[in-house]
Amino acid sequence: MRIIPCIFAILFILGTLTSCESESEMPEETNQPDGDGNGGEPDNEPISAVDTHGLLQTSGNKIVDKNNKVVQLRGMSLFWSQWMGQYYTKETVGWLKEDWKCNIVRAAMGVEDNDGYLSNKEVEKQKVFTVIDAAIAEGIYVIVDWHSHHAEDYLNEAKTFFSEIAQKYGNQPNIIYEIYNKPLNVSWVEVLKPYHEQVISEIRKHDPDNLIICGTRNWSQDVDEVIGNKISDNNVAYTFHYYAATHKESLRDKVQNALDNAIPVFVTEYGVSEASGDGSIDVSEAQTWWNFLEQNKISWCNWSIADKEELSAALKPGASGSGGWTEDLLTVSGKMVRDEIKAKNPEY
Ligand code: MG
């Protein structure tokens, strides 16, 4: 007669233990369908390019993402900061991401010339910070470009600037350093490589891992000169620039030669116009270049977001720094490049 209550007691205890175990498992099971830690909310929230790819890393002649998958970024370069500062805004960056589908922007901080960083440090730096902060908020990549033709003359200033950027932003996967935009005809081995090595060692004190892009001789065209003379850092790519109405097959051959020798190439700037930024537009050659970049998975930024009256400018005079540009505010180049970006970049 006493056995029956005992059995009930045992069953009750077992039942309690079982139900506790189930409850403890419940939240995990609810989370499992998406596994993104958002508490089981539907997975229709847009994720960003930087969420998807994370920190970029060179691998052979390619750039790969945090999952070791090859990445090709497409976006826009802003114009010299001291002359087109009105586009160094979060609204412009937001519009380039939302409407143009850019997954990268380039802040081209003018260094010397009139009113560049050397004579106006705080003002120009703040413009770059604004663009970086906006790119981080939008989940896109941002190139911090030391926009100069004579950077070897201002080595200490470059070291100070990039050290500050690395300390402030080096933990963000969005950041890409471009430490010398467009050298003139100066030696890779004797001038450019030593310059890059010194700036890189300053960056690496604070940021051991983000991608750094190094300018090459002759307006960043002689990328093949790096063959046999690469910089000894494990996350460096090399700059190549072209203007489609001026530069054709012979420059593609240079890039191909570099690629064939495991040199990772990044087109931080190009135009569909002539090298002057003006002259004429070559639609057919622009397409040939795009095909070449696609085949080789080379990332690019187009020159430029500006409303200057020249063919390489994407905007017509008076286009606002708040984005929202209707098609009638885009130039021929602006429309061509926007169409290309929208056709190729993944939607976020
Ligand atoms: Mg880092």
CB count within 10 Å of CB 40 equals 15
Burial class (CB in 10 A: 0-12, 13-18, 19+), 347: exposed
Beta strands in the chain (DSSP E): 57-59, 62-64, 74-78, 104-110, 141-147, 175-178, 212-214, 236-243, 265-271, 300-305
In Å, how far from its chain's centre is CA 216?
A: 18
What pLDDT was estimated at residue 14? 41
Q: Containing H/E element for 193?
A: helix 193-204
| Ligand 1 centroid – CA 278 distance (Å) | 37
Give yes or no for a contact between 180 and 215, defined as CB atoms under 8 angstroms apart: yes
Task: Give φ, ψ of 86 to 5 degrees.
Answer: -65, -20
Give the closest residue to 259 by CA, choosing from 293, 285, 220: 293
Give the closest residue to 63 by CA, choosing from 345, 299, 341: 299
What pLDDT was estimated at residue 28? 33
Give yes or no for a contact between 259 and 293, defined as CB atoms under 8 angstroms apart: no
| Ligand 1 centroid – CA 170 distance (Å) | 4
Q: Ligand 1 being an ion, which residues bring their Cβ within 5 A of it?
A: 170, 207, 209-210
Work out the end-to-end distance of the chain between its first and last CA atoms, rounded to an integer number of angstroms: 70
| Ligand 1 centroid – CA 31 distance (Å) | 30
Give yes or no for a contact between 182 and 215, defined as CB atoms under 8 angstroms apart: yes
Task: Give φ, ψ of 11 to 5 degrees.
Answer: -60, -40
Question: Beta strand 212-214 with 236-243: parallel, antiparallel or unpaired?
Answer: parallel
What pLDDT was estimated at residue 114? 80
Give the closest residue to 215 by CA, choosing from 258, 180, 254: 180
| Ligand 1 centroid – CA 151 distance (Å) | 24
What pLDDT was estimated at residue 44? 57
Task: Give φ, ψ of 170 to 5 degrees.
Answer: -65, -15
List, for the chain, all residue ranges whose pLDDT scores fall below the cut of 70. Answer: 1-46
| Ligand 1 centroid – CA 210 distance (Å) | 5
Give yes or no for a contact between 323 and 92, defined as CB atoms under 8 angstroms apart: yes
| Ligand 1 centroid – CA 26 distance (Å) | 37
| Ligand 1 centroid – CA 53 distance (Å) | 14
Task: Give φ, ψ of 284 to 5 degrees.
Answer: -65, -45
Give the closest residue to 145 by CA, choosing from 94, 122, 111, 101: 111
| Ligand 1 centroid – CA 307 distance (Å) | 34
**Token pair of 116 as six digits:** 């560049």
| Ligand 1 centroid – CA 159 distance (Å) | 17
| Ligand 1 centroid – CA 114 distance (Å) | 32
| Ligand 1 centroid – CA 209 distance (Å) | 5
What pLDDT was estimated at residue 113? 78
Name beta bridge partners: 300.
Answer: 74, 267
**Token pair of 278 as six digits:** 């003006």
**Token pair of 149 as six digits:** 């033709």
pLDDT in tens, 47-84: 999 999 999 999 999 999 999 999 999 999 999 999 99
Q: Which amino acid is at 119?
A: S
pLDDT in tens, 108-119: 999 997 889 999
| Ligand 1 centroid – CA 64 distance (Å) | 15
| Ligand 1 centroid – CA 171 distance (Å) | 4
C-alpha to C-alpha distance for 210 and 231, rounded to whole angstroms: 15
| Ligand 1 centroid – CA 180 distance (Å) | 19
What pLDDT was estimated at residue 4? 45
SS3 string, 124-149, reads: HHHHHHHHHHHHHHHCCEEEEEEECC
| Ligand 1 centroid – CA 172 distance (Å) | 6
Task: Give φ, ψ of 197 to 5 degrees.
Answer: -60, -40
| Ligand 1 centroid – CA 176 distance (Å) | 9
